[in-house]
Amino acid sequence: MTAEGHGTRGILGALPPEHRDRLLGFAHDVTFPPGDRIFDEGGTADRFWIVRAGLVALDTYEPGRGPTVVETLGEGELLGWSWLFEPYRWHLGAQTRGEVQAYEFDAHQVRAAIDADPAFGLAVTRCVASVAIGRRLRAARTRLLDLYGPPVRNAPTAYGETP
Amino acid sequence: MTSARPALTPFPYRVVGRTEETPDTAEIVLEPVASALPRFLPGQFAMVYAFGVGDIPLSLSGIGGSRLTHTVRAVGAVSGALHRLRPGETVGVRGPLGTGWDLPTAAGHDLVIVAGGLGLAPLRPLIRTALARPQGYGRLNVLIGARTPADLVCARDIDGWRTAGARVQVTVDRPDDAWQGDVGVVTTLLDRAGFDVDNATAFLCGPEVMMRATARDLAHRGLAPERIRVSLERTMHCGTGHCGHCQLGPLLLCRDGPVVTWAQAEPLLSVREL
């Protein structure tokens, strides 16, 4: 399987072509129905996915309140990075919003290839760190600043008014 | 009145329509009582005077003939008074003021329009203008972020924009139980937007922290800072570049802005003292 004809947005677009094709060699197509639970917080991260179409909600469970959606992932985005780092446990849960088509990867196979081929391993690790983890960390910080940024006492609002 | 200078003298306008957008935000439609102000361009703003209370800068969320549409959120005395206006009441309006989005210079480009919260309001005339000339531009991406589904403004326009050919994505920070769309900050939608960085222009409006994050992300993807336009807010009083309240370094934003390029804005926004 190659990236040809499957789009190269997101994490696949960020990988050099030779490593992208190698990674896609481990992939197989899967389709999840609407509302399907893909994995649960704390579960073993033995697979990961790259979303081809549809929307996946990442959530965390709050006792007494049920699942709270933290973020959504769509086309081209990596679903799951906990498979790359010990202890290989999911930090969040994942549930489809509608039908989702994705490339599914066996984490053991990809980790073995990463260990065996340092150039491939470096490319994949850099890509996961930059495109998935780094971008989501920046987004989380922006969201924190927007939602909880410290108010400046008596600062003018957007209209130049003091509330 | 015809000899009055529209940037300095308030022209009387009558409220002819009012629609609640969210619990604290309303769209008001104004019509000139006598003479109309010169035509506004998308991105420009007006100083709107609530008689006996004061005036504030308001961008236009709709421009049609001599009618002006503003989307106003009640956050203080003047905006609260404007938010409470009802049809038949009168306000004073000065303008057009400031720079616009300058859409014609993006002809042939993919358009990336990114809005945060109430920032969608001043982008709405831009979106409507682009949709009215679909052959004039490439792909039209509209990325919208709101804190909650209830805070989403211009919500009734979105389906129409999609039908007209725009790729509209909406995300919220705090979903409610009914929300089935995206969750997260608006920058996370950029991956799914379709645009060629070598032939695109971006237009950003919203909280400054959101515009900074989005502009940096777009620049990191290869979009030239000169092709990224942001609408900056500072305290505006005179609207004509005389009082200096809206100064940002060498810029007086009521005159040289509010729309500036990221090439102009980035070095200024990184100076702590400004």
> What pLDDT is stored for residue B23 in this prediction?
87
Place of tokens 């589904």: B149
Partner-chain contact A161 B76, CB within 8 Å: yes
On whether residue A162 sits in a domain, the answer given is no
Q: How far is B55 from chain A (nearest CA, A)?
A: 9
User: Across residues B174-196, what is the average pLDDT?
Assistant: 91
A42 contact partners, CB below 8 Å, separation of at least 6: A89, A90
> What pLDDT is stored for residue A7 in this prediction?
44
On whether residue A158 sits in a domain, the answer given is no
Partner-chain contact A97 B187, CB within 8 Å: no
- Structural domain span for residue A14: 10-145
Cβ–Cβ contact A67 with B under 8 A: no
Residue B217 burial (10 A CB sphere; 0-12, 13-18, 19+):
buried
Could you tell me which residue, B244 or B103, shows the higher pLDDT?
Answer: B103
Cβ–Cβ contact B55 with A under 8 A: no
Q: Does pLDDT of A152 surpass 70?
A: no
> What pLDDT is stored for residue B189 in this prediction?
93
Q: Does pLDDT of B257 surpass 90?
A: no
> What pLDDT is stored for residue B191 in this prediction?
87
On whether residue A150 sits in a domain, the answer given is no
Partner-chain contact B188 A139, CB within 8 Å: yes
User: What percentage of chain A carries pLDDT values higher than 70?
Assistant: 85
- Per-residue pLDDT band at A159 (split at 50, 70, 90): low
Helix (H, G, I), strand (E, B) or coil at B225: helix
Strands (E), B166-266: 167-172, 182-183, 200-205, 228-231, 247-248, 251-252, 259-261
User: Across residues A97-104, what is the average pLDDT?
Assistant: 97
On whether residue A157 sits in a domain, the answer given is no
CA distance B198 to B221: 10
- Per-residue pLDDT band at A153 (split at 50, 70, 90): very low
Tally of CA atoms within 13 A in the half-sphere of B238 that contains its CB? 10
CA distance B95 to B47: 7
On whether residue A152 sits in a domain, the answer given is no
User: Across residues B207-217, what is the average pLDDT?
Assistant: 91
Q: Does pLDDT of B267 surpass 80?
A: yes
For B75, which of A9, A69, A159 is closest by C-beta distance? A159
Q: Are A156 and B235 in contact (CB under 8 A)?
A: yes
**Would you say the C-alpha torsion B49, B50, B53, B56 has a positive or negative sign?**
negative
Q: Are A50 and A1 in contact (CB under 8 A)?
A: no
User: Across residues B197-221, what is the average pLDDT?
Assistant: 93
For B56, which of A9, A147, A160 is closest by C-beta distance? A160
B10 contact partners, CB below 8 Å, separation of at least 6: B47, B49, B55, B92, B93, B94
Partner-chain contact B183 A163, CB within 8 Å: no
Q: What rounded mean pLDDT belongs to chain B?
A: 92
Q: Does pLDDT of B92 surpass 60?
A: yes
Complete domains list, chain B, with CATH: 11-97 (2.40.30.10), 103-269 (3.40.50.80)
From A78, which residue of chain B is nearest by alpha-carbon distance? B191
Partner-chain contact B75 A69, CB within 8 Å: no
pLDDT tens-place string over residues A2-41: 444 444 568 898 899 999 999 999 999 999 999 999 999 9
> What pLDDT is stored for residue A13 in this prediction?
87
Q: Does pLDDT of B64 surpass 60?
A: yes
Q: Does pLDDT of A155 surpass 70?
A: no
B183, B186, B210: best to mutate for the A interface, most A CBs within 10 A: B183
CA distance B226 to B259: 12
Could you tell me which residue, A28 or B250, shows the higher pLDDT?
Answer: A28
> What pLDDT is stored for residue A154 in this prediction?
39
What's the domain count of chain A?
Answer: 1
Partner-chain contact A9 B56, CB within 8 Å: no
On whether residue A21 sits in a domain, the answer given is yes
A73-83 burial: b if 16+ Cβ within 10 Å, else e: bbbbbbbbbbb
On whether residue A133 sits in a domain, the answer given is yes
**Would you say the C-alpha torsion B263, B142, A38, A15 has a positive or negative sign?**
negative
User: Across residues B43-65, what is the average pLDDT?
Assistant: 93
Q: What rounded mean pLDDT belongs to chain A?
A: 87
Find the range with the poorest average confidence among A133-142, B44-53, B64-73.
A133-142
User: Across residues A61-85, what is the average pLDDT?
Assistant: 91
> What pLDDT is stored for residue A162 in this prediction?
53
On whether residue A5 sits in a domain, the answer given is no
CA distance A18 to B82: 60
- What CATH number did the domain enclosing A21 receive? 2.60.120.10
Return left, alpha or beta for B210; rule: phi > 0 is left, psi -120 to 50 is alpha, else beta.
alpha
